[in-house]
């Protein structure tokens, strides 16, 4: 019995395993897209695009949200529900703020005449950062679900798997965003 309990505790939860498989495929997609960007940027007629300042501000926002989601995980594991509710609320708000800053960053590009069809560099920027934004929106939806569950009065078994999966995903989109900001700032 003791042996099976030890083996059981070392198994990865199926939701966590599925998330890691999904994250690996996302990494491969963005690696392919940024590699294609590098190849295309060496061709004649390439025009560099300046990364909007709002994208840099949104970096600070998403970094702060990674801190607050980690605080939410800790509070949940310590069964400090008022703190958990506060941190998950702040994280969901910061996630939504990140999406809003991204929208206004794209709007700024659009007003400068940088559209999806105006240049190859613009197309890459819209596709790569747009795909990241879609992943962030998925993360914000997951945060809103966690927010709703935090304030739900239904009785459930107490498990931290949900918030752990969401926080890992959120940290991932945070790290992915930092990679993209560095990539577009240095590679251009």
For residue 46, the SS3 value is coil
Confidence check: pLDDT of 142 > 80: yes
pLDDT digits (tens, 9 = 90+) for 35-77: 999 999 888 878 888 888 899 999 999 999 999 999 999 999 9
How far is the C-alpha of 159 from the C-alpha of 170, rounded, in Å? 19
pLDDT digits (tens, 9 = 90+) for 110-120: 898 888 788 88
- What pLDDT shows up at residue 17? 84
Reported as a pLDDT band with limits 50, 70 and 90, residue 1 is very low
Four-CA torsion 72, 78, 81, 82, nearest 10 degrees: -80
């Amino acid at each position: 019995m003791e042996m099976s309990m030890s083996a059981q505790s070392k198994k990865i939860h199926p939701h966590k395993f599925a998330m890691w498989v999904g994250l690996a495929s996302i990494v491969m997609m963005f690696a392919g897209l940024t590699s294609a960007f590098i190849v295309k940027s060496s061709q004649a007629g390439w025009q560099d695009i300046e990364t909007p300042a709002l994208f840099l501000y949104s970096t600070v926002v998403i970094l702060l949200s990674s801190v607050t989601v980690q605080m939410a995980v800790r509070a949940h594991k310590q069964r400090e529900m008022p703190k958990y509710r506060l941190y998950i609320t702040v994280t969901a708000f910061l996630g939504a703020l990140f999406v809003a800053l991204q929208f206004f960053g794209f709007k700024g590009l659009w007003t400068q005449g940088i559209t999806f069809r105006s240049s190859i560099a613009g197309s890459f920027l819209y596709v790569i950062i747009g795909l990241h934004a879609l992943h962030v929106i998925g993360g914000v939806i997951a945060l809103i679900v966690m927010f709703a569950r935090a304030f739900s009065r239904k009785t459930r078994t107490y498990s931290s798997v949900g918030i752990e999966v969401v926080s890992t995903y959120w940290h991932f989109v945070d790290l992915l965003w930092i990679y993209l900001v560095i990539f577009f700032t240095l590679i251009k």
